[in-house]
Structure 1
Amino acid sequence: MSESLKDRLEAHHVWVYLLGAACGVGLSLLFPGFSAVADFLVWPLLAVLLLATFAQTPLERIPEAFTHRKFLATALLANFVLVPAFVWILLRLMPADPAIRLGLALVLVVPCTDWFLTFTQLGKGNMPLALSLTPVNLVVQLLLLPLYVPLLVGEDLPPLDLSVILPAVLVLLIPLAASVLAEFTLFKTPAGASVREGLSWLPVPLLAVVLACVTGANASRLPLAASAAPSVVVATVTFALFAVVAGVALTKTLRLQASHGRTLTFTLMSRNSFVVLPIALALPAGWELTSLTIVTQSFVELFALALAVHLIPRFIKA
């Protein structure tokens, strides 16, 4: 593939994802056995996707983030204090369906570590700052997610034993451990740099394939997803508006540089569906709507971010 093709994939990734999801539904309708195959493929594909995603997260740049103390403090407090507080309020206003609430809690409370970078670049943010913030966000969210979800959802959490949650834990930890090891060994060699560049091609097409498998495996439950879609769309749009208002207000109040403020706004808007989707897929029977909620939220968020690319530079001017 040429570099221009990679650029086109990234520029039109929303449509690539929609095409993937539509193909999953179509294949499941045309070939009844596809749903079982798709269900089996989700886990290994997610592991590869997370590996490719984590590989683009330069962990050695974590110290650089601490040189921009005002921005880092603002981003961390906004992402891990202000956002969870807003999500708690938002969930109280949502329908009482525990599966929808759990899906929204999982996906909204953690900041993105992948397409956050893409949209920050498109929205004229500060890319070196975004790159240094990304691994910090990743580490903090992995530590805080087990604490935040029970606080947000309350007593409606499904019963989970180790055998159920183990696949989700492994599909997160194995790619993360592999990327950390490669960061300080393989990726420092010329061959490793080529491997890392090769992995950078994977997130967009591979996520499209993952979405095809998720929708294909859950095709029979799509009417259930359709019934939940209005609530998920309202929640996602409301959250996006909150993130924009918060980002612009914090930028002006704290007098952040324009590029720093844009970066802050995009980290607040973009949520980490890649990391929490494996957890949702590991839930017991009866909680399928949780993963469908996360997928639906991701699609709505992508359109919001695509719009924000044009609006945020106007709201936060240099």
Structure 2
Amino acid sequence: MTTIKGPAVFLAQFINDEAPFNTLEGICQWAADLGFKGIQVPTTDSRFIDLKQAAESVTYAEELKGKVASFGLEITELSTHLQGQLVAVNPAYDLAFDAFAPEAYRNNPKARTEWAVQQMKYAAQASKNLGLNAHATFSGSLLWHMFHPWPQRPEGLVEAGFTELAKRWLPILNEFDANGVDVCYEIHPGEDLFDGETYEMFLEKVNNHPRACLLYDPSHFVLQQLDYIQYIDFYHERIKAFHVKDAEFNPTGKQGTFGGYQSWANRAGRYRSPGDGQVDFKTIFSKLSQYDFKGWAVMEWECCIKDSNTGAKEGVEFIKNHIIPVTARAFDDFAASGGNDDFNNTILGITN
């Protein structure tokens, strides 16, 4: 068993144009002052990381790592959630997702996809240069608009969609493999990998690629009413990253899992700050520790009610209080009776 590392924080929801959240130094000082030990770094904002340079220059990567370390922090993982989304985009979402790409690649789906794939390959190389072994991302989606089977899905459509998704991701997975880094897909609504069934369909298409791993975020499973505890039993060998994000599901006579097109505050299922929702984190931390999870507990703040700074302050303590320092010995060692083959055979009544 392994003691989970943490607490850490995903920076994406905190970065903005006001100090201290507009520079790497400022946000590192903020995180350190709160008591975080690690930061998960999004890679689309050059104020925080130049992804291409981190991939191509070991010197730059070492300097970046050193700058973060000067605040008593570690980089836990890099994140390419936005770029991963653009690896596969159904035309129905072209306009909405164009905002995730630089302006030069908008209104040009082919060029946008090529840019996204290259970004992913840079992320593999940058992660290696930074000494990281896991990477957080999304899978993208060609099929999400068809998740409900009405109108009836044409025969072979899902098979074709996952075949194409795998075709796009295999070269990326191979690049990560060459750099010794796991790709951790956040299983998430809006992605073609949104639950265990879809992950397994993808895994089969990529020939059970050893780098096709998972970022575990139970909040998305509460909203789907999926058993997020048993999920760990099924997939613990593939879970290499962990978001501590809470959620609650309170269905009414008017709405359930689909949410009725309501705002986040008015949905039956909504994300909450750690400790304010329904997720059983005590069992989750126990399960992950039992299964020897070697990664970080990374707080992701997404709450439609609580202020982000309050969520961060409380999140540090929440994670600290849930990390289990694992035992190095059995609790009943004091009553050990020794043993060897002859002794054991005597107890069992076995004679030679």
TM-score class, shorter-chain normalisation, is under 0.3
Rg larger in structure: 2
Q: Greater helix share, 1 or 2?
A: 1
Using structure 1 for the length normalisation, give the TM-score: 0.27
Greater RCO structure (CA 8 Å; 6+ sep): 1
Q: Greater strand share, 1 or 2?
A: 2
Using structure 2 for the length normalisation, give the TM-score: 0.25
